[in-house]
Amino acid sequence: MESRLAIGKNVIRVDAHDKAAGRTKYNSDVTDPSLLHCKMIVSQYAHANIKSIDTSEAMTAPGVQRVITGEIAQGILTGTFVEDRPPLAIGKVRYHGEPIAVVIANTELEAKRGAELVKIEYEPLPVLNSPSDSMKPNAFLVHENLANYRKMKECTPQPGTNIANNVRIRKGDMIKGWEESEVIVEEYLYLPQADHIALETRSVKAEIKPDGNIIIHSSTQGPYIIRKKLSRHFNIDTGKITVHTPMVGGAFGGKAAVQLEMIAYLASKAVGGREVILINTREEDMISSPCRIGLEASVKLGATKDGKIKAAQITYLVDCGAYSDMGAVMTKSIASDCTGPYNIENVYCDSLCVYTNHPYVTSFRGFGHSEYTAAIERTIDKLAKALNMDKIQLRLKNIAIPGDTTPTCSTLTKSNIGDLKKCLETLKVKLKWEEGEKVDINKDTVKCKGISCFWKTSSTPPNAASGAIITFSPDGFAHLSIGAVELGQGTKTAMAQILAERLKVDIKRVKVSMEINTSDNPEHWKTVASSTTYMVGNAVIEAADDVICQIKDISAIVLRCSPKDLEVSGGKVFLIDNPEKWIDITEVVHGYKYPNGNSIGGQIIGRGSFIMKHLSGMDENTGRGNPGPLWTVGAQGVEVLFNKKEYSYKIINAVSVIDAGTIINPIVASGVTMGGMSMGLSLASREAFIYDNNGIILNPNLRSYKPIRVDEEPEYIIEFIETPEVDGPFGARGLGEHGLVGMPAALINCLSTAAEKDLNRFPLTPELIWKTK
Amino acid sequence: MIEFHDKSIIELYVNGDLKTVAARPADTLLFILRESLGLTGTKNSCGNGDCNSCTVLLDGWPVKSCLMLAVEAVGHEITTIEGLQDVPMQKAFVEKSAIQCGYCTPGMIINSHALTTIYPDASDEIIEEWLESNICRCTGYKEICEAVKSVINM
Amino acid sequence: MITFDFDYYRPDTIEEAINVYKKITGQEKKAIYYAGGTEIVSMSRVNQLSFDSVIDIKAIPECNVIETKDDKLIIGSAVCLTRICDFGGYPLLGAVCRRIAEHTARDMITLGGNILGKIQYKEAILPLLLTDSKVTVAGTAGKSEKPIDRIFNEKPLLNAGELLVNIIIDKKYINNPYSHSKKTKQEKIDYPLVTIASVKNDDEIRIGFSGLCVYPFRLDIIFGNIDNTNPESEINNILNRVPAPIVNDILGSAEYREFVTRNLLIDLFNYYGGMN
Ligand SMILES: Cc1cc2nc3c(=O)[nH]c(=O)nc-3n(C[C@H](O)[C@H](O)[C@H](O)COP(=O)(O)OP(=O)(O)OC[C@H]3O[C@@H](n4cnc5c(N)ncnc54)[C@H](O)[C@@H]3O)c2cc1C
Ligand code: FES
Ligand code: FES
């Protein structure tokens, strides 16, 4: 392999110094006294008619400018696949925490005081507290009006039920599959909703300028999506909307949703377009803004005696909460990869997006994959037990390899799927599988291991696109303008590395635009799905090639040769066969000036763009289609010390072996992977919304909802297999979410072995293990 | 006896400077630092004492500025992340890749800096005891621990 | 953000504190003493508390001491938990405090605030209950010394305006055998499902519980009654004497709390039994 300058190097993150100094400005760090402050009033009930909203006292409170309620956006319904959600509740609330009204005042204090004066009279209604409750034949409807909602064509809501989307996979011949199966196992799994807990809560500023231009500042993963949604719902030209996004303090999928932006826009509109700011409190960020899906899964697998899986019948009930939004999209993504990375010829899967009276959901790191993977992998472990077969062996026997097809009948190739066999074999070594799955340590303690495989494709829309623009400073620094948001995942650094590599310059001479301005930076679909490196990276390469081409064209004139004779490297352009003859790129990037003053060329501006190719929607009846350009695969494991007396445990080791293609920045890649693993273990072991019988969330703050802290962390072992993806920038695949995906599955498998119980619920608290029969 | 009624002018000794600001006795130190003094390096994440994003030093000891009244800090020395200029802990966080989104970082660095100042030879146990206070949602904490240890071993 | 307004006083002496309290309440207004503020601020921001003035007691020297006088250990009510842990003079109290909240919070939470707050756990009171500690209370009538159970028994019992100045621990207990164990739902940093602290004093074992019921309490057992071959009957005895229903909440069901408590008691029996 050619030696590389920047790719594969532990480059220090381009945003690190400012962050360490506390100088990085996040969205809510920039305010000024002229801003008006918004405070939401949110529902105290999970389901209720709003009998009245009395804003009279609030309206006359000091500093209050306006109080807005749902009426202000009468008739506007928003959503992604199904448009079912009013920006502010009208007539009815459908989840605990749903925004109902907003007080707009001169200061934060006055807004909050005003909000305390808004009186809402509710008429409580019964609640649907789980997807299976919502599926009961006599269940009431969360949305009576489902038939009349606008919807995208790829979505199939079922009016008269609580099903917002119904995605079917019908692959192969189930009758044959069951006939060939000698052993059949079934599993049910329940996973409650949870929350992203990005440390920065969501915030927005909105302003409508006198000339009709709209300026939004948002802590978001999707600045360009905000532009589209505002345009769609409020009938504004996208060209008049500019969204600014600075550094984002963690997102994990949660900031891909467009919610507060619409509320802030309405608030600004209500006060004559003045700039308003709306910042979620932690409590609001957890329950009013969207959270992670819940899932109820039933999986039935059939296999031959020697362990070849022949049939899979699966039902996934996605708890999307009260509004379908990204829940309906994830339902589809779950269906498309529904079996996990196994080659199963006969698959029957119903993936249903089900309304409940829970907070509504949005994408979460893994986009539904960590949730269903837990169900599949739990069942595979059960199958191994039934077959009396080694768990790694059983998986090896069934993993998907080039030539196989996915549940949507996409054909896997050497390039579009990574090497799972190698991942599993490496996991086996790293996890010291040979030591035994379960070893007694002393009277009360056993040491146990558990594993999981996973795969994930990006589930992007078939026309998702990105762009990149390169300009130069007079002294030859390359300035890269992209639309990808920095959320902590190291995107800006990775893009700088890709550009430095392609231009063959020191990374210090590459500057990436840190903040996004949708009017200036070329559009990037959204910064999600671990697809940013792949998409934006490809655009950057194209832009770099464009720049190189332009530099060569001008230099060829100056050096009196053909552009073909030239090479650009180290900030110089030189003749390939006579490197003594060169000019500095600074002489050409802003036009070349001859000694007599004549000039040629002008500024060099590189452009690159990328659009997904060959992706297609899924067939309504069979699910056939091509959901993503590539599959990242991996194998993960955990090792746990389990106390049989107390049912408590300590996770001691966690291992990930992931085929992420070429690794752009190893230290960042393993940091992000470790973060994902840590989040996966945290979700699996402790995180969940706890609802009471009335659908009220009992733990909407960090005193009672507890993400993992340093003392609970295991040792992390992370290995990358680097099977290059031919279409990826320098062979990179997606990486970012994947550390999380198999972790909950590995942990539930491990603890099931340790406790000798069939665990099938999350989170895996000692009480849950104790209680499970 | 110090007393403050209604909104009044208070003097805060922040990062070595004496600052004069108007504050209600009910205003938290976090609010005054961010909104009145523009020291936005100190972050608000839970506003309830649970995450340590808002940590500042009061006479050298870490405290949660979201649970402290600004008036309580009168007469004490406050240090925020902006008051640390290229201290070893900041360099260590950069070099050990202990920063991802960076939102927990100011609180982490302030707390870790205080730890290594007060206990230059802190054991792993003490490091863990101190860092337990801070939530980081991005990392698996390993790089953060390494950064702190690297300063202790310097 | 706290939306209601209040006045702030930081007296330098106990007398000043008592007088300012009297003055405020004389105007038909509500004053509260303010120590670490951790509970006051977090409850006020969600309007679960209301008052017109806070009286910050952290500048009062008597509330800030840790000292030994003759056979007494005296700890000021405004001493923060970190200082108590670092001081090390009363190992059981240090061990209990070290498991309350986390380090930075302990820099703020005070001993007095922990035992007089609204929070149901008040873990720091356990060692004080077990050692029959005394407290100094100041009020309009001056200072007086009282047994700890006169200021806390199921709930705080201080009269309006009374200030807890310090806690006086009889040193004779400090080196007695003791144990402490805190069990949580899952996290290390969390409120207790059950915390048990115990002290052996001659032939009795005094056991303090937090988390099991809605308030902390103490039960004594006779050392000789411990029969490690058959702990069940004594454990049942203890559970029968628990003074209030076992808590059932999001941290754990009552049944699970009982299960955890049984395990803790077995550990405790084994620990003391092993000393036989
Ligand atoms: C993140 C976190 C986790 C926690 N975890 C735990 C835990 O696991 N276990 C546990 O037991 N506690 C825990 N706590 C502590 C508890 O919730 C309270 O916040 C704390 O005990 C209050 O102490 P303070 O000094 O801040 O009191 P303050 O908030 O100042 O006061 C509390 C109450 O006590 C009164 N008061 C205080 N001092 C005096 C005095 N000298 N005389 C008369 N009245 C007085 C006040 O008027 C007020 O009513 C935790 C706190 C936090 C922030
Ligand atoms: S913001 Fe202060 S502890 Fe979270
Ligand atoms: S780096 Fe994002 S929370 Fe720690």
Q: Which residues of A641-651 are buried (b: 16+ CB within 10 A; e: fewer)?
A: ebbbebbbbeb
| Together in a domain, B96 and B138 | yes
CATH of the domain at B115: 1.10.150.120
Q: Each residue of A405-441: pLDDT tens digit?
A: 999 999 999 888 989 999 999 999 999 999 999 999 9
| Together in a domain, A576 and A588 | yes
Q: According to the model, what pLDDT value does residue A723 have?
A: 87
| Together in a domain, A320 and A395 | yes
| Together in a domain, A758 and A676 | yes
Q: What share of chain C is helix, strand, coil (3-state, %, to 5)?
A: 35, 30, 40
Cβ of residue B44 closer than 8 Å to a chain C Cβ: no
Q: CA B106: distance to chain centroid?
A: 7
Q: According to the model, what pLDDT value does residue C276 have?
A: 56
Residue A203 lies in a domain: yes
pTM to 2 decimals?
Answer: 0.97
| Together in a domain, B134 and B119 | yes
Any idea which ligand is nearest the CA of B31? 2
Residue A743 lies in a domain: yes
Q: According to the model, what pLDDT value does residue A424 have?
A: 98
CATH 3.30.43 matches C7-56: yes
CB contact under 8 A, A646 and C260: yes
What percent of chain A has a predicted confidence (pLDDT) above 90?
92
| Together in a domain, B46 and B72 | yes
| Together in a domain, A279 and A298 | no
| Together in a domain, A640 and A709 | yes
Residue A158 lies in a domain: no
A146 touches A156 (CB < 8 A): no
Cβ of residue C20 closer than 8 Å to a chain B Cβ: yes
Q: According to the model, what pLDDT value does residue A264 have?
A: 98
Q: Which residue of A has its CA nearest to B106?
A: A22
Interface of A with C in 671-710 (CB under 8 A): 685-686, 690, 698-699, 704, 706, 709
Give the Cα separation of B39 and B43 in Å (integer): 9
| Together in a domain, B10 and B56 | yes
What percent of chain B has a predicted confidence (pLDDT) above 90?
99
CB contact under 8 A, B94 and A667: no
Q: Is A116 exposed, middle or buried (0-12, 13-18, 19+ CB in 10 A)?
A: middle
Query: Could you check whether the bond before residue A763 is cis, i.e. omega within 30 degrees of 0?
Result: yes
Q: According to the model, what pLDDT value does residue A2 have?
A: 60
* Domain end position, chosen among B63, B81, B99: B81
For residue B130, how far is its CA from the centre of ligand 1 (angstroms)?
20
Is pLDDT above 50 for A707? yes
Is pLDDT above 80 for A493? yes
Which amino acid does the sequence have at A378?
Answer: R
Give the Cα separation of B40 and B33 in Å (integer): 7
B5 touches C54 (CB < 8 A): no
Q: Could you tell me which CATH number the domain at C61-173 has?
A: 3.30.465.10
| Together in a domain, A751 and A637 | yes
CATH of the domain at A604: 3.30.365.10
Q: Which residues of A688-719 are buried (b: 16+ CB within 10 A; e: fewer)?
A: bbebeeebbbebbbbbbbbbbbbebbbebbbb
* Domain end position, chosen among A240, A268, A288: A288
Q: Band the pLDDT of A529: cuts 50, 70, 90.
A: low
Gyration radius from chain C CA atoms:
19
| Together in a domain, A643 and A744 | yes
Q: Per the structure, how many domains does chain A have?
A: 3
* Domain end position, chosen among B58, B81, B104: B81
Q: Which residues of C236-245 are buried (b: 16+ CB within 10 A; e: fewer)?
A: eebeeeeeee
**A109 contacts in chain C (CB < 8 Å):** 1, 3
| Together in a domain, B7 and B71 | yes
Q: According to the model, what pLDDT value does residue C227 have?
A: 79
For residue C105, how far is its CA from the centre of ligand 1 (angstroms)?
10
* Domain end position, chosen among A580, A611, A642: A611
Indicate if ligand 1 lies below 6 Å from the C-beta of C32.
yes
| Together in a domain, A682 and A752 | yes
- Across chain A, mean pLDDT equals 96
Number of neighbouring beta carbons within 10 Å of residue C113: 26
Residue A423 lies in a domain: yes
| Together in a domain, A209 and A228 | yes
| Together in a domain, A398 and A493 | no
The pick from B137, B142, B148 for probing ligand 3's pocket by mutation, whose C-beta has the most ligand atoms within 8 angstroms, reads B137
Domain boundaries, chain C: 7-56, 61-173, 178-271
For residue B58, how far is its CA from the centre of ligand 1 (angstroms)?
19
| Together in a domain, B11 and B75 | yes
What percent of chain A has a predicted confidence (pLDDT) above 70?
100
Q: According to the model, what pLDDT value does residue A1 have?
A: 47
| Together in a domain, B10 and B74 | yes
Query: What domain range includes position B26?
Result: 3-81
Q: According to the model, what pLDDT value does residue A245 have?
A: 98
Query: Which tops the pLDDT comparison, B22 or A533?
Result: B22
Q: What mean pLDDT do residues A264-284 have? A: 98
Indicate if ligand 2 lies below 6 Å from the C-beta of B45.
yes
| Together in a domain, B128 and B61 | no
Query: What domain range includes position A38?
Result: 33-125+196-288
**Nearest neighbour of C189 by CB, restricted to B2, B55, B132:** B132
Q: According to the model, what pLDDT value does residue A633 have?
A: 94
Closest by CA position to A754, among listed A657, A634, A638: A638
For residue B63, how far is its CA from the centre of ligand 2 (angstroms)?
10
Residue A181 lies in a domain: no
In this prediction, the residues of chain C whose per-residue pLDDT falls under 70 are 276
Q: Look at phi and psi of residue A697 and say left if phi exceeds 0, alpha if psi is from -120 to 50, else beta.
A: beta
Q: Each residue of B48-79: pLDDT tens digit?
A: 999 999 999 999 999 999 999 999 999 999 99
Q: Do the domains spanning C7-56 and C178-271 agree at the CATH topology level?
A: no
Cβ of residue C229 closer than 8 Å to a chain B Cβ: no
| Together in a domain, B10 and B71 | yes
Element (H, E) at C17: helix C14-26
C-alpha distance from residue A394 to each of A303, A451, C82 (Å): 10, 12, 53
Q: What mean pLDDT do residues A343-353 have? A: 98
Q: Per the structure, how many domains does chain B have?
A: 2
Residue A145 lies in a domain: no
Give the Cα separation of A70 and A91 in Å (integer): 8
CATH of the domain at A60: 3.90.1170.50
| Together in a domain, A347 and A202 | no
Angle, helices B88-95 vs B105-118, to 10°: value is: 130
| Together in a domain, B57 and B110 | no
| Together in a domain, A498 and A358 | no
Q: Band the pLDDT of A614: cuts 50, 70, 90.
A: confident
The pick from B44, B104, B133 for probing ligand 3's pocket by mutation, whose C-beta has the most ligand atoms within 8 angstroms, reads B104
Q: Could you tell me which CATH number the domain at C178-271 has?
A: 3.30.390.50
